[in-house]
Structure 1
Amino acid sequence: MSQTITETQVAPPPTLILKTTAEDKPEDKPHDDYRYANLLPHFSSDQYPPLAPFTHADPGLRALDHPNPRAFLDTATSVVELTPRLGTEVHGINLAELDSGARDELALEVARRGLVVFRDQHDFIDRGPDFYKNWGSHFGRLHVHPTSGHPAGYPEIHLVYRDANSTFNFEVSDSITSTVWHSDVSYELQPPGLTTFFLLSQPETGGDTLFTSQVSTLKKLSPQFIAFLRTLTAVHSGVEQANFSRSGKRGGIVRREPVENIHPVIRKHPVTGEEALYVNRQFTRRIVGLKREESENILKFLYDHIDKSGDNQARLKWRPGTVAIWDNRITAHSAIVDYSDSKERRHGARITPQAERPIPALDGLQLN
């Protein structure tokens, strides 16, 4: 069950400033010539109850029983590893045409590689929100974001948006960098697993996305330190995100009351069995049971390690028709906001199925 926690926070998250208000919304502006105007951010005032726990059946487990768990790649014209530790780029496959068995195999491949990028997926993107929901539902229960914009009538589709007049992204205004590593909505009791994201519109250059392997960042640490980290749990909080929206920013809507949950600092993947670091600057607040200074210093060390580990990272340069699929349980990512001066539109959609409650790497670890 969700737990509300009175906490002494680690260093507070960066001050986040947006350049728009709830009254300055893209759906209120004329976009008659924009191909994806029906997918512009909408901020309904609908209210939703707390998310109920559910049993997640990971499709990657089914693929383990297939004679060839990578058979969905047989027709690909190119399969290239982006880095040795993270990411694969695929050409020649139409994701929209994958059957149920191939989708299971895809889930297993993403679990093993962390990130799989598919190019030339215009058919997938142009099939629209009903198709997006059908696609995502194969991989888990679709998450409805408590504060973000979504296409009108489709709260399950999370949108990021920025143009010359407005932005609904989180942007750090008082920092020397726009890089904020995070695992999506890690404050939920059952955070996302296999996540699909694509851009409907993008700047000519810039707006890339960084990814890092949390499996690899963990493996870089000493065995003694890893053994200690396995004994720890941490608070992940959605309160600051909700309060930011309540202040009138990012659409000014909170559709579901924020939650805080305790997760293991090191989690285990239910399909591959691999262990991954599971903390992030955006949502992790403190380590349970440690004094404030102890928690702050450990988390700062881990955040710095994630930030600086370029040998565990991959940078995705978007092209029209690109679809990125990653495993939110074993990766972290950050948008790169380097295109603001161009005034160009960047409009993305995310399909976010939830997965299991994070499994501790240490058997018997209490999540309370």
Structure 2
Amino acid sequence: MSTTETATQPGQTALRVVNGHAAEETYKYAHLLPHFSPDKYPPLTPFEHIDPGLRALNHPDPRAFLKGAESVIELTPNLGTQVRGIRLTDLDSDGRDQLALEVARRGLMVFRDQSDFIDQGPQAYLEWGRHFGRLHIHPTSGHPKDCPQVHLVYKDANSTFNFEIQDSITTTLWHSDVSYELQPPGLTTFFLLSQPTTGGDTLFASQVSTLKKLSPSFVAFLRTLSAVHSGVDQANFSRSGKRGGIVRREPVEHIHPVVRRHPVTGEEALYVNRQFTRRILGLKREESDAILKFLYDHIDKSSDMQARVKWEPGTVVLWDNRVTAHSATVDYGDSKERRHGARITPQAERPIPAGDGLVLPN
């Protein structure tokens, strides 16, 4: 018997061809398809963030949660660890604290065979995410109905609810999620509910390693700089009728250090990204543009500082937005297959300047 699934518009059914005959079946994750509520939200307010990784520093064995794993493999020397044989659903509070510390240290962790975690549903996602920080509600993206704290990405043969730039020769767009917020995300959890047969990989870059590649005198200069991160273009993209056409919270701009310090590991990381960083304060426009272009190109081209996650069913990926950048790879469009992902996005602290003398405006 031969069976083939074809993509459909977001809805309750998918079309399958079984022995040459069309048949409809219920999509397992139809309850998690993108919903664009018209709800409006007030501006986010500051809050005190206590990183759970700090608690793990005092644990006699901060990597105890990995005991019993079938395999723990470093994807690259500088970034990323792949784990098999550990069930995320089995981690208690101490285990989650240790996980947060390990993600901070490695930047990226890929857990295979986590279908039980994925199949728990939205309320379990929220309980998981709240351990790591206050959950972010994205101002423009789709979310499961009645669960705005879960950010969705979605593309199939007929629809796309991703932030896609059509007039570019590449779909690669390095960024750190919603870096325009006053308190951007820290540890982030992401998984695919449906994926193309091939393609749709996610790229990651270590912003700790990209910074270390620069000369000490240049890094010293970068530590004195701050930059504006803006959500205006993203909001305007939705207001133009793309994605879902919804802006739930008015866009904001905030000033962050160009080099930030991680509150748990103490590591310094480059903190600019092509999607949201707009200008460096205190410099002439041409000076700011030249430095940012250099840094963006450095991030783009540093393949020795990057890792590539190839998705397989049941994969859950966690990364630390404070010390990594990432990009989707939209290379599967011709296949007409569905790619449906969910992100749990806890906010962290306001970025801490690596330069002791850098003072950010209130």
Q: Distance in 2 between matches of 1:26 and 1:237?
A: 30
Instruction: Report the 3-state secondary structure (helix = DSSP H, G, I; strand = E; otherwise coil) of the residue aligned with 1:299.
Output: helix
Instruction: Report the 3-state secondary structure (helix = DSSP H, G, I; strand = E; otherwise coil) of the residue aligned with 2:26.
Output: coil
Q: 5+ residue gaps in structure 1? A: 1-23
Match of 1:310 among 303, 310, 330: 303
Q: Give the letter for the 1:26 counterpart.
A: P
How many residue pairs are counted as aligned between the two chains? Answer: 344
Match of 2:233 among 236, 240, 251: 240
Which residue in the other structure is 1:228 paired with?
221
Q: Give the letter for the 2:165 counterpart.
A: V
Pairing of 1:270-309 with structure 2 (within 5 A): 270-309=263-302
Pairing of 1:96-135 with structure 2 (within 5 A): 96-135=89-128
Deviations 1:263-310 (A, max 9, x none): 000000000000000000000000001000000000000000000000
Q: Distance in 1 between matches of 2:108 and 2:50?
A: 20
Match of 1:71 among 64, 72, 80: 64
CA RMSD of aligned residues (A): 1.1
| Corresponding position: 1:151 with 2:144 | yes
Match of 2:208 among 212, 215, 233: 215
| Corresponding position: 1:36 with 2:29 | yes
> Percent identity over the alignment?
79
Q: Given that residues 25 and 251 in structure 1 are in contact (C-alpha distance below 8 angstroms), is that contact kept between their aligned partners in structure 2?
A: no
Deviations 1:131-166 (A, max 9, x none): 000000000000000000000000000000001110
Match of 2:347 among 335, 350, 354: 354
Which residue in the other structure is 1:265 paired with?
258
Q: 1:149 to 1:25 in 2, by over 3 A?
A: farther
Deviations 1:17-65 (A, max 9, x none): xxxxxxx9724x6455200000000000000000000000100000000
Q: Distance in 1 between matches of 2:162 and 2:134?
A: 24
Q: Given that residues 114 and 316 in structure 2 are in contact (C-alpha distance below 8 angstroms), is that contact kept between their aligned partners in structure 1?
A: yes
Q: Give the letter for the 2:204 counterpart.
A: F
Q: Give the letter for the 1:328 counterpart.
A: N
Q: Distance in 1 between matches of 2:36 and 2:89?
A: 28
User: 1:170: Cα distance to partner?
Assistant: 1.6
Instruction: Report the 3-state secondary structure (helix = DSSP H, G, I; strand = E; otherwise coil) of the residue aligned with 1:90.
Output: strand
Q: Given that residues 193 and 327 in structure 1 are in contact (C-alpha distance below 8 angstroms), is that contact kept between their aligned partners in structure 2?
A: yes
Structure 1: 4+ residue segments shifted above 3 A: 29-32
Q: 1:25 to 1:52 in 2, by over 3 A?
A: farther
User: 1:364: Cα distance to partner?
Assistant: 3.4
Match of 2:192 among 191, 199, 209: 199
Deviations 1:190-209 (A, max 9, x none): 00000000000000000000
Q: Given that residues 261 and 268 in structure 2 are in contact (C-alpha distance below 8 angstroms), is that contact kept between their aligned partners in structure 1?
A: yes
Which residue in the other structure is 2:80 paired with?
87
Instruction: Report the 3-state secondary structure (helix = DSSP H, G, I; strand = E; otherwise coil) of the residue aligned with 1:159.
Output: strand
User: 1:172: Cα distance to partner?
Assistant: 2.2
Q: Give the letter for the 1:82 counterpart.
A: L
TM-score by length of 2: 0.94
Q: Distance in 1 between matches of 2:90 and 2:34?
A: 27
Instruction: Report the 3-state secondary structure (helix = DSSP H, G, I; strand = E; otherwise coil) of the residue aligned with 1:357.
Output: coil
| Corresponding position: 1:326 with 2:319 | yes
TM-score by length of 1: 0.92
Which residue in the other structure is 1:59 paired with?
52
Match of 1:137 among 130, 142, 147: 130
Q: 5+ residue gaps in structure 2? A: 1-7, 15-24
Q: Give the letter for the 1:206 counterpart.
A: G
Q: Give the letter for the 1:174 counterpart.
A: D
Q: Given that residues 122 and 321 in structure 1 are in contact (C-alpha distance below 8 angstroms), is that contact kept between their aligned partners in structure 2?
A: yes
User: 1:247: Cα distance to partner?
Assistant: 1.0
Which residue in the other structure is 1:19 paired with?
none
Q: Which moved more, 1:61-70 or 1:163-172?
A: 163-172
Q: Given that residues 9 and 157 in structure 2 are in contact (C-alpha distance below 8 angstroms), is that contact kept between their aligned partners in structure 1?
A: no
Which residue in the other structure is 1:166 paired with?
159
Q: Give the letter for the 1:136 counterpart.
A: G
Q: Distance in 1 between matches of 2:57 and 2:159?
A: 45
Q: Distance in 2 between matches of 1:174 and 1:189?
A: 30
Q: Give the letter for the 2:59 counterpart.
A: H
